[in-house]
Amino acid sequence: MKIGFMGLGHMGAKMAARLLDKGFDLTVYNRTPEKAEPLVAKGAKIAYSPLDLHDCHIIISMVADDKALENLVYGERGLLKVLEPGTIHISMSTISPALADHMEADHHMCNSFFVGAPVFGRPEAAAEGKLFIMTGCDDQLLKSCQKIFDALSQKVFHVSEDPAHAHLTKVLGNFMLISSIQMLSEALALAQKSGLDQKLFLEAMTGSIFSAPIFKNYGSMIVDKMYEKNVAFALPLALKDLRLAQEAAASARSPLPMASHVHDQVMTAIARGMAEMDLSALGKFAAENAGVSQ
């Protein structure tokens, strides 16, 4: 079975490498072909446009946002022009539920399939096959994609038969994640300014009522000031995801007041020069707001 992979950023490159390590016949595409070279050296074939993926049975997309996916699918050399009947497109990016709805309808018109399967996890988890995957598709499509999901994840959550619901799950999960890191950042800034040892405070919290990995991992990055090293979830991507949550909330007429507050905090951090930094830079931002030197 031939697999196509579009998008070789921080996450996509690690996911594609994992599939190669697991023996999949992989053809990779990236807008800048140079990013494909390490994968080609490991045995992947290279595509120079989405059109070159026409003979793949399953095509995975892992790109930054709605616009990037629209360009890959609907562009002048877009995927939709060459999809064979029965081809499965697995969307693993964080995109809007609205775009997922449109994509599903347009793939259906081509007698192909659109599967929502966004992921939770950082690039190091992707490299080890320890992502969490949220799927939206029917049982037969899930079965067709299962080997790929098994290679990439530690667990698959089948949330719906609707691809848009899978992407909504991802958007809401990222809203919860970003809001949690903002909360953690403010707490750590207050602890530091009050003279409480940050590492001991973090150890107490993560060893008791906040034991989730995100608090341990991001908390350690904040305490160690690792804002610009191992940037996997840059602040502009966090801002984009908060906007997706706000759009979904507006569409459903379901208020998300915390999303508005955190959105403005992230936007202000970016305006202060943190655009190239990781989400953990919210810790730096909160400390600066508290008048704590960094």
Q: Token pair of 132, please? A: 């969490």
What are the phi and psi torsion angles at 37 (to 5°)?
A: -60, -45
Residue with tokens 């539920």: 97
Is 170 among the catalytic positions? yes
d(CA 195, CA 100): 48
Gap between the Cα atoms of 46 and 26, Å rounded: 9
Q: How many CA atoms lie within 13 A of 62 on its CB side?
A: 24
Burial bucket for residue 126 (CB in 10 Å: 0-12, 13-18, 19+) = buried
| Cα–Cα distance for residue pair 260/242, rounded to 1 Å | 8
Estimate the share of the chain in helix, then strand, then coil, as percent rounded to the nearest 5: 55, 15, 30
Under 8 Å between Cβ of 48 and 27: no
Please report the DSSP string for 195-256 in residue order: T--HHHHHHHHHTTT--SHHHHHHHHHHHTT-SSSS-SSBHHHHHHHHHHHHHHHHHHT---
From the candidates 2, 81, 130, 170, give the one annotated as an active-site residue. Answer: 170
**Residues written for the chain:** 294
Q: Which residues are catalytic?
A: 170
